Chains A and B, each alone.
Chain A
Amino acid sequence: MNLESLVQLLYLAGTALFIMSLRWMSDPETARKGVLSGVAAMALAVAGTLAGVLATGGTHYLWILGAFVLGAAVGYPLAQVPLTAVPQRTALSHAFGGMAAGLVGTGKFFLYYGQRDAAALTPFIMVALVAEVLLGFLTLTGSLLAAGKLQEVKWIPQRPVTYPFQNVINLGLFSLALALGAALVLHPLAPWAPAAFGGVLVLSLAFGVLLILPIGGADMPTVISILNSYAGLSAVAMGFVLDNKLLITAGALDGSSGLILSIIMCKAMNRSFTNVLFGAFGQTQAQGAGAAAQAYKEDTVESAAQIMAQADLVVIVPGYGMAVAQAQHKVRELYDLLKKRGVNVKFAIHPVAGRMPGHMNVLLAEAEIPYDDLLEMDDINGDMPQADVALIIGANDVVNPAARTDKTSPIYGMPIIDADRARTVYAIKRSKNPGFAGIDNGLYFLDKTFMLFGDAKAVVGELGRHLSGEGH
């Protein structure tokens, strides 16, 4: 058997293992096997590639080894971040993924161009190269900006940034990049081709920034998923350029994963892709339907603890505020104390709660809350009228009843957790300001709602103290 076939066989085995890896992710019981299978697939891919280039006269092995070591040295600490920082880490790694694809595409183009290799720069390869560079570099800057917003870096604006003719400018720049790309496809060896390629590159970098500037925190789960998809598609484009089926397959798996997650996120907010990307949520609706003049009704933590101790069913609705306050471990203590008193405690998880898909689940799992008690929105809503207490911890828009009732609300039509149908509602909130999307929440002004203002971690800890001290 010749070496080329051996490499292809290794790639084939790698492809199968990647598919199994995703297949095993469907169930928490088998998911860790999925990671193992992914690692094995990646090892086969790297081994096969190294064997291939070794046999065809490759060089620079020490440098390559150095790049591996350096990458591992940076990657390891990135895997140790606190779980509240997982959205930023994910965005950052999308940036790395996009950058890798963009750099490889750039290298390949200038290599072929320098060799005047018209046979390599077919129109099809050029389309793939332009797509690779465009997607790669826009993913790079877009993800970096998203990571910066998530990390709340001081000089990066948190709120959506909008300006006149924003969408016109964005689309104009994008069309310009496409036009340059089309010119490159037609004349890849023209004297101006390197300049045009550079133009595409710069426009992609700029477009990534402009695309994410108008995005607010509430839209982050969707945007992270879309960027995930782009990173995968840029790998697919690289696969077309290099005629490498393993790259195409693995990239397609990543691309479709990002696509499905984006669709789920969009559905959970009752919005379309275009609306997320070009809608600049949270800017226009400063005034709610007259609710702003109403006063909050506060209650003491002590009486909240008493009510909860006597409840049969307490439903906890966590949101981004729980993540920010790192309150998950205190929530776990509260969960244990209530359970010990025979109270049934469930968690209601909205698909877009937090800043990335599944964010709340991971935090609660970290606090060792059994995942059987983490319920999806559709599974818990039917039980909400039986809940004696709904405890909202740093969630806002996902429990806003305006989504059901107020046709003028920007979140009208978004599926929500029906916290307002519980008998009593307690809401822990950082401040009296409206949530990230800037929309007033009618839930807080219902007769049955009591506010507990303060840091989520402190308030939940306080609740726990009252519950544990009350037995005497």
Chain B
Amino acid sequence: MTHGTHGTTDLMGALFVFMLASFIGLMAIQRVSRLLHTPLMSLTNAISAIAVVGAIIVASGAHQPWWVTALGLAAIFCSTTNIVSGFLITDRMLKMFKKREGGK
């Protein structure tokens, strides 16, 4: 929302967050069973639609050329498509994974 305040501290903080989040991601995902790799990919697809945050910020800006707003709106459209279809299809797939009845 604000800009022009990117000091070195912000930059370093952002890099730290990136590094830590990458390691958390690598470790969490290494544990995912191969069985679930397709749902995993559609889930992370929906998660990467977090770009919607940036899209809203760009689309909502006042005092800017109309076409910048239009780019933001188009980006909101793309991200929302991914959010809705990504989460829905992941859940639809996961519902199908069933264990053998009676455990064994």
Which residue numbers of A lie inside 8 Å of B, CB to CB? 18-19, 21-23, 25-28, 31-32, 34-35, 38-39, 41-42, 45-46, 49-50, 52-53, 56-61, 63-64, 66-68, 70-72, 74-76, 78-79, 81, 83, 86, 89-90, 93-94, 96-97, 99-101, 103-104, 106-108, 110-112, 114, 117, 119-120, 122, 124-125, 224-225, 228, 231-232, 234-236, 238-261, 264, 349, 351, 356-359, 361-362, 365-366, 368, 370-374, 376
Contacts and interface: CB of A to CB of B under 8 A. Distances in A.
Contacts of B43: 21-22, 25, 34-35, 38
Nearest to B27: A256
Given A59-B60, A235-B51, A35 B29 contact: no
A60 B65 contact: no
A130 to B, nearest CB: 16
8 contacts: A19-B24, A26-B28, A86-B93, A100-B51, A104-B54, A119-B3, A122-B6, A374-B35
B36 A256 contact: no
Interface in B13-40: 13-14, 17-18, 21-26, 28-40
Contacts of A96: 49, 78-79, 81-82
Interface in B60-96: 60-62, 64-65, 68-69, 71-96
B88 A22 contact: no
Chain B CB within 10 A, most for which of A104, A125, A351, A376: A104
Given A32-B94, A79-B89, A371-B99, 17 more contacts: A45-B50, A60-B59, A71-B80, A75-B86, A86-B89, A104-B71, A235-B48, A239-B14, A240-B14, A242-B53, A244-B53, A248-B14, A254-B25, A254-B47, A361-B34, A368-B98, A371-B97
B25 A255 contact: yes
Contacts of A224: 41
B20 to A, nearest CB: 8
Given A243-B10, A358-B39, A100 B78 contact: yes
Contacts of B42: 86, 89-90, 93
Contacts of B94: 28, 31-32, 35
Contacts of A86: 38, 42, 89, 93
B14 A71 contact: no
A254 B45 CA distance: 7
A31 B76 contact: no
Contacts of A67: 59, 73-74, 76-77, 80
A71 B35 contact: no
A234 B65 CA distance: 24
Contacts of B10: 243
Contact of A42 (B14, B39, B49): B49
A362 B56 contact: no
Majority secondary structure, A binding face = helix
Contact size class for B? 35 or more
A181 B10 CA distance: 23
Contacts of A81: 89
Contacts of B33: 26-28
Contacts of B22: 252, 255-256
A75 B30 contact: no
A251 B18 CA distance: 9
Nearest to B92: A79
A42 B36 CA distance: 21
Contacts of A260: 26, 29-30
A267 to B, nearest CB: 12
A76 B47 contact: no
Contacts of B41: 90, 224-225, 228, 257-258, 261, 356-358
**Closest A-B pairs by Cβ, 3 of them:** A71-B80, A75-B84, A358-B37
A52 B87 CA distance: 25
B31 to A, nearest CB: 4
Given A58-B61, A244-B54, A260-B26, A249 B21 contact: yes
B93 A103 contact: no
Given A64-B60, A90-B41, A260-B26, A35 B87 contact: yes
Contacts of B14: 239-240, 243, 245, 248
Nearest to B13: A245
A103 B74 contact: yes
Nearest to B69: A60
Given A26-B33, A78-B81, A253-B21, A46 B45 contact: no
